[in-house]
Structure 1
Amino acid sequence: MTEPRASYAPKGGGAIRAAELRFSPLTGRAGLKVAGEICLPTHDTWERALERVVQQSEPSYHLELSAVTFADMAGVTALAVVAQSLDHGRRVVLDRPPASMSRLLDLFWPDLPAIEVSAV
């Protein structure tokens, strides 16, 4: 599933480029492979993808994030809010998240049991 690209101009001018967030289903487990940037132009796309986490009945939902190049505070907050809304015992497993996401989770949600970070 690929969502439309959103264009924005970097702060301070410069070339306009497209922020993009792409998803594909994982094989053999519930979840998505995510690629691109989680930022203002892609927030709606990210939040729609996170809705799948809540809708699934599996105890673990995997997000393979090795191809995500950036995640801003609002994107990580949306992930944490979804994780907090999961039933007891359910979790989101983040496979190889970008450093920005890991840092924000460690700073603001260090003990959130519904998120597991995996480097594998």
Structure 2
Amino acid sequence: MNTPHQVPASAARGSVPRLAVFPLAGRSGVRAAGEIALTTRAIWEGVLEEAVLEDDDVYYLELSDVTFVDVAGASALAAAAGRLQDGRRFVVRRPPSALRRTLDLLWPDQAGIEVSTS
């Protein structure tokens, strides 16, 4: 991922959720900030699709600045993890607690997702 993704300015007014995504320095992955919801889902799914196409064994998703992930966003993550080649995984760093609970509840055996709280 070479370029940051953001909700267009026209969609970012008022109470519409925003999502900004930036490449991580020094390793394969992104740092996201904002919310993963209906209006930002296309950005999130695009990021995940790019991640699936990467060659690295580990793709980091730094989510410490993400305040909310809806169930569809969690589902998109689980689906993308299911498309990873054997031995590859997402390391989800410091996600919102609701995302951890959703993954534990609905996708408890998803081998392609490792959640790290540190």
TM over 0.5: yes
**1:21-76: CA deviation from partner (whole Å, max 9, x where unpaired):** 00111111100000000001111111111111111000000000000000000000
Q: What does the per-residue CA deviation read over 1:49-104, in whole Å, with 9 as the maximum and x for residues that have no partner?
A: 11111110000000000000000000000000000111110000000011111010
2-structure distance, mates of 1:55, 1:48: 11
* Bigger radius of gyration among the two: 1
SS of equivalent residue, structure 2 residue 5:
coil
CA RMSD of aligned residues (A): 1.3
* Counterpart for residue 82 of structure 2: 84
Which of these residues, 5, 11, 23, is aligned with residue 2 of structure 1? 5
Percent identity of equivalent pairs: 47
- Are the equivalent residues in 2 in contact too, given 1:7–1:41 (CA < 8 A)? no
Q: TM-score, normalised by structure 1?
A: 0.89
Q: Give the alignment of 1:26-41 within 5 angstroms.
A: 26-41=24-39
Q: Please, which of 96, 103, 114 is the counterpart of residue 112 of structure 2? A: 114
State the match for 1:103 in structure 2: 101
The answer for unaligned runs of 5 or more in structure 1 is: 9-15
* TM-score normalised by the chain length of structure 2: 0.90
Once the two structures are superposed, the pairs formed by residues 55-74 of structure 1 within 5 Å of their partners are: 55-74=53-72
Distance 2:50 2:94 in 1: 20
1:12 is aligned to none
Please state whether the residue corresponding to 2:31 is helix, strand or coil: strand
Structure 1 CA distance, aligned partners of 2:12 and 2:23? 25
Q: Which runs of 5 or more structure 2 residues have no equivalent in the other structure?
A: none
Q: Does structure 2 retain, via aligned residues, the 8 Å contact 1:84–1:112?
A: yes
Contact 1:76 1:101 in 2 (8 A): yes
Write the distance in 1 (CA, Å) between the matches of 2:108 and 2:5. Answer: 31
